[in-house]
Amino acid sequence: MAEDTLLYEKLELSLKNEELVALSTVIAGQQVGNKMLIWPDGTRLGDLQSQPLNEKTALRAGELLNLQKSERCLFESDGLQSEVFIEVFPPPPKLIIVGAVHAAIPLITFAKVLGFRTIVVDPRSAFATPQRFSHADELIVEWPHEALSAADFNEATYLVALSHDEKLDNPALKLGLESPCLYIGALGSKKTHGRRVKSLQEMGITEEQLAKIHSPIGLNLGGRSPEEIAVAIIAEIVTVRNSSQQEK
């Protein structure tokens, strides 16, 4: 009983801290009722009372954490079958927008309809005004390198850099690229992206990390207005979000 109390306390803490976590429960078999928490880094808490079952469950849980989906699994261990429900608790989706530009206004509207928490970061108080962004969940009138930290990025974070200013975009992109951030997009031409890549490489970002950037940002819908650009961006975000939850 004490072990279950600790397990649920840790689960509650992870949910409060918006951490990705999985709760595995044996729902059929000799170990029925036993539970184990599993985090993306492989950390575990709890015991299914069978080492082979622990290992098989942890392996599948790691795959499901990556997909951010739950599943009922049938495992064989010690000559017996056990059914385990692996319930994945993804963090709530969060969209961080760097740059209080025109396209950010409709982008927030679309994102909120889809259930995203929206955050706008821009130190330019002439653009980042409460009047323009009253519908954002959070408006931060600061430089991204001061307003954001690694703790702001998790497996359900989507980062969009729209300012066209390297001093704003690149520090935020660096944080996103060094995190498990699910989507990273940056506005700009091929020439602009070339300069961006060079600058990020000088900041220590690897080729593998750079490949995560969606640039040009958004699906190619041929749009030009701020609203059409926002549609293209949110469409690409939805595509990435859904494809990440599908088996490869």
* Domains of the chain by residue range: 2-89, 94-243
Helices 104-113 and 226-243: crossing angle, nearest 10°? 40
Residue 219 has pLDDT above 50, yes or no: yes
Report pTM: 0.84
What is the tens place of the pLDDT at every residue in 185-210? 999 888 999 999 999 999 999 999 99
Residue identified by tokens 């790691």 is 62
Q: Which residue has the tokens 């709890």?
A: 46
What is the mean pLDDT of the segment spanning 75-100? 93
pLDDT in tens, 112-123: 999 999 999 999
CATH architecture entry for 94-243: 3-Layer(aba) Sandwich (3.40)
